[in-house]
Amino acid sequence: MNKKKNLNNNKMDEELINLKKKLMNLNFQKYSGQLEKTSQIRITKKQIAKLKTKFSNQKGDNNA
């Protein structure tokens, strides 16, 4: 069971890294004038926040 949690944490870490890269690319596109849908930035930020919240909740459950 502990091994499964580690795999899940690794997936969440990878997803977080991918979302941060996406956000950085969206910001570059915004400042260079290539981004038409600026709402994508807000959506990506919300996805990052949700993932971080989920991660911290799991971390708290493990410590309890």
- Which pLDDT does position 57 carry in this prediction? 87
What is the pLDDT tens value at each position of the chain, 64 positions in all? 455 566 688 888 999 999 999 999 999 999 999 999 999 999 999 999 999 998 888 877 776 5
The structural domain count of the chain equals: 1
- Identity of the amino acid at 38: T
Note down the domain range covering 59. 2-63
